[in-house]
């Protein structure tokens, strides 16, 4: 959580360790505090802490085409997982979102590898 000088919340990140991943359930910054780098700071802190704990990857689900969703996470190094790259957990998470009213084609799962090869990433070795 990020707070101001009088301890009022400005934004928060909610995440859970699942197996060897850190899954980000929500990142939220109050409208009046957006576009100030607070969301980036929260994510960078989560990434750093996950790295210290030797987590393999960060995962999340988000809107595919909303500028402050998937494109924001891509700038932090996350990549979109295609359907054939989803593990059972991420597939179930997306299916649950659809069951709660989200349109399937608007949502995606994303992955940021930390201490393991990236899911679906192309090899950099010849």
**Residue 118: its pLDDT value, please?**
47
- Over range 100-111, report the average pLDDT: 94
Q: Identify which of 61, 75, 74 has the alpha carbon closest to the alpha carbon of residue 106.
A: 61
Q: Are 103 and 73 in contact (CB under 8 A)?
A: no
Q: Within a domain: residue 120?
A: no
Question: Residue 28: is its pLDDT beyond 80?
Answer: yes
| Residue 12, in any domain of the structure | yes
* In the predicted structure, residue 107 carries a pLDDT above the cut 70: yes
Does residue 42 or residue 36 have the better pLDDT? 42
β-strand partners of 58: 22, 112
The number of angstroms, rounded, from the C-alpha of 63 to the middle of its chain's C-alpha atoms is: 11
User: 125 versus 65: which is more confidently predicted?
Assistant: 65
Q: What is the pLDDT of residue 62?
A: 94
In this prediction, residue 117 carries a pLDDT of 52
- pLDDT value of position 116: 56
Within a domain: 124: no
Q: Nearest-5° angle of CA 87, CA 90, CA 94?
A: 135
Number of domains making up the chain: 1
Give me the domain span that covers residue 74. 2-113
Q: What are phi and psi of 76, to 5 degrees?
A: -90, 0
24: domain CATH number is 3.40.630.30
**Domain assignment present for 123:** no
pTM of the model: 0.83
């Amino acid at each position: 959580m990020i707070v101001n000088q009088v301890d009022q919340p400005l934004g928060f990140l909610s995440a859970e360790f699942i197996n060897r991943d850190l899954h980000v359930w929500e990142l939220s910054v109050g409208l009046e505090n957006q576009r100030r780098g607070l969301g980036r700071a929260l994510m960078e802190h989560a990434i750093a802490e996950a790295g210290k704990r030797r987590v393999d990857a960060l995962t999340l689900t988000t809107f595919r085409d909303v500028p402050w969703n998937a494109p924001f996470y891509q700038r932090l190094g996350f990549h979109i997982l295609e359907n054939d790259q989803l593990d059972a957990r991420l597939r179930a998470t997306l299916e649950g979102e659809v069951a709660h009213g989200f349109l399937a084609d608007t949502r995606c799962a994303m992955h940021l590898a930390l201490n393991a090869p990236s899911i679906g990433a192309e090899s950099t070795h010849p």
